[in-house]
Structure 1
């Protein structure tokens, strides 16, 4: 198989609402390797045996809306061309080309990276290294910020607006919450990370009140947290709840809640540049290690083994109406991963 041939078929296969057709396409391509689909919908196939064990991972789901495939010379447009069917095509080609003689390679493709990552969370592969396919412009990305979302729910006491002293204004209590968001990292946050920079914490939505002549009894501030190592989800939510609790008025309650999600949030990670999987990719032609610009399922895998995010494409055009990938870059990515695997397990 060639990565370009597979990619053209993949981009013509919508996977923004349901991944079944895309999964079947992938299973057909892997038929010679006895692929399996686990209970979480992951597609799994392995070659070789023993250690080291290198896992190639990416995802088959895409964001809506579907954008039809269109080719213009060496450029392929369409939903998923960049994120992440282009990286998938490169990893699939490398998996097909390599014949491990001193280790094992597993291709593990997840079904819901763009939503709750239940597939990735279910994987327990015991690897020695991961290559996660995402659009990095052929750079070896060894770190990424985490992303948490949550709310501060404020409870006051309703009253007539003509008698505000009889109530407790939940919207006005949002002011110290906004101040608390601004002050949190200076007082409690992790230090600036050498590669990822400082963490961020910002309010993204606020709502409250139900009438123009009534003191509001409820307000909700929604926030977005971009974390850096070594902060964990548990550390942040516990610390931020304490931080907010001492700042709101005594007559208003404040509850910090994580956004509804069936799986853990994607935490920040960092892989040392001297890890064997990093060195193998760079020696094969990948760009020097740098951070990746978005949260990815690599977060789950980095807790298990050294993890690198790598692939063709530009993250800036992912999810856009003009999403595209340079097909020459897809082919080059396949070559780089093939050569890296030859060094690691060949």
Structure 2
């Protein structure tokens, strides 16, 4: 059996389009695990699952990342960047097949202690609805989620909620506006309440302040009619401990208090088959954080601890300790990297991430 090489795996993984269908990429993942003596299964939600170690462990660490990418597919290319650094380019190279390569290296290399277990849980649709992650049945003590963090250890991330505020009035002829109730006029008070919604709230020590942003608005049915209804779409980036349900309720109450009594108010979260990706935070001095940060620094990373700037399936594993870690970056000095035509990952960083995760996993659950 040949030793697993994360870069060789990545070179084969990136050319496999997984933006519209992950079937081919998932088959390659299962085949790779089989070649290294691991029997993987695919559950009804499309998750690829594998495990090593004790069936009833005292310590259980789970690795998670995703194999889907965004459209369109960007072809694989290996070359150098402007400073001569060896890079792999293509859709998924950093988000998140680069992190997957590093995770696989650690999972395959580490032999768990007699009372420990390591689980691999790879999801199929993180970029869309997270139906895979929502269906996962993994009961671990520690979680490492692979995303492009530039080898920093990310211990927290804001959640993302979306919903539509509906203001209801009474239609009438625009020549007799007093005979109706203008829902667009009420939008003025609603927007003022939205701007003031987070005033006086304490900022989260890791994530800072939550944000609430109007993104789309529409209303009215005719140019000569008082509009009976106005709709405003809102984007919420939450911080702990706010939940989606708590946000919905408190926002609706704030708008109700702000607009005239003759205007109807309702706020509905966008309907989706899975829970929203909520905010999460792991204490920065937790053993998991310290182990991964120290291992990253030994491998050539910065060892920095910071929040992650995007929503992530890590929220599904909280409140258990979880960190986000991997090679690649969401953006660099030139602009977007992940989800962009210029997506790339540095080859050396893939190897550093693999070494760091192997080192940290050995420390936490390995048979040292």
With normalisation by structure 1, the TM-score equals: 0.96
| 1:299 corresponding residue in structure 2 | 315
| 1:84 corresponding residue in structure 2 | 96
| 1:240 corresponding residue in structure 2 | 251
Structure 2 runs not aligned, ≥5 long: 81-85, 298-302, 332-336
CA offsets, 1:96-151, max 9 Å, x none?
A: 11111241111100011111111111112111100000000001100111111111
Q: Say whether 1:191 aligns with 2:191.
A: no
| 2:191 corresponding residue in structure 1 | 178
| 2:267 corresponding residue in structure 1 | 256
| 1:267 corresponding residue in structure 2 | 278
TM-align CA RMSD: 1.2
Q: Say whether 1:313 aligns with 2:331.
A: no
Aligned residues: 343
| 1:227 corresponding residue in structure 2 | 238
Q: Pick the aligned partner of 1:28 from 31, 35, 41.
A: 31
Shift in Å, 1:255:
0.6
| 1:288 corresponding residue in structure 2 | 304
Q: Distance in 2 between matches of 1:72 and 1:14?
A: 20
Q: Say whether 1:3 aligns with 2:10.
A: no
Q: Distance in 2 between matches of 1:250 and 1:41?
A: 49
Q: Distance in 2 between matches of 1:9 and 1:161?
A: 64
Q: Distance in 1 between matches of 2:74 and 2:52?
A: 34
With normalisation by structure 2, the TM-score equals: 0.91
Shift in Å, 1:217:
1.2
CA offsets, 1:248-306, max 9 Å, x none?
A: 22222111000111111111111112222112112212522111111100001122x20
Q: Secondary structure at the match of 2:144?
A: strand
Q: Secondary structure at the match of 2:315?
A: helix
Shift in Å, 1:334:
0.3
